[in-house]
Amino acid sequence: MILYTATYNSSVGTIVIESNGETLTGLRFGEGKTQATSSLPIFDEVTRWLDDYFAGKQTKNAVMLKKDTLNQKNAARIIVQPRGTLFQQRVWQALLTIPYGKTVSYGELARMIGCKSAQAVGQAVGANPIALLIPCHRVIAAHGQLGGYAYGQEIKKRLLNIEQP
């Protein structure tokens, strides 16, 4: 599989965008080398979404690559195809139901998918390869504590602040 990458400079750091040429396969904070690509439509869509997000506009979540989700009314046109186990896929699908500006605890997320282990759900959340569009930053620890984030608590805090009116 050919992987195309692009970078986006945001107010919280550089974001690396990855695609297989048709769908979004990764979005992460960090440094990355941009490969020479033709302007892929998926990169244009993601860049528009990121522009809106960092401008503080309420954005819609992405759509997982599944036939039954392609017509979701509350989803962006960006089709994501994260690679992971079936359990991780279930957790990531549940993340897509968390609205902009809202948070849920790891325990609440576990209950949403019928899992008894908030810790297992937390590990799946931490393995999310498509940050922001699959909003893992919206999952917090019990009692409203910030909890962990793959890219650090400071970035998580800044992202949650962007989503507050």
Catalytic residues: 136
In the block, tokens 């993601």 appear at 46
Burial class (CB in 10 A: 0-12, 13-18, 19+), 55: exposed
Number of helices (H), then strands (E), belonging to the chain: the values are 5, 7
What is the three-class DSSP state of 64?
Answer: strand
How far is the C-alpha of 8 from the C-alpha of 32, rounded, in Å?
10
Contact 104, 98 (CB under 8 A): yes
Pull the structure tokens for residue 139: 């999952």
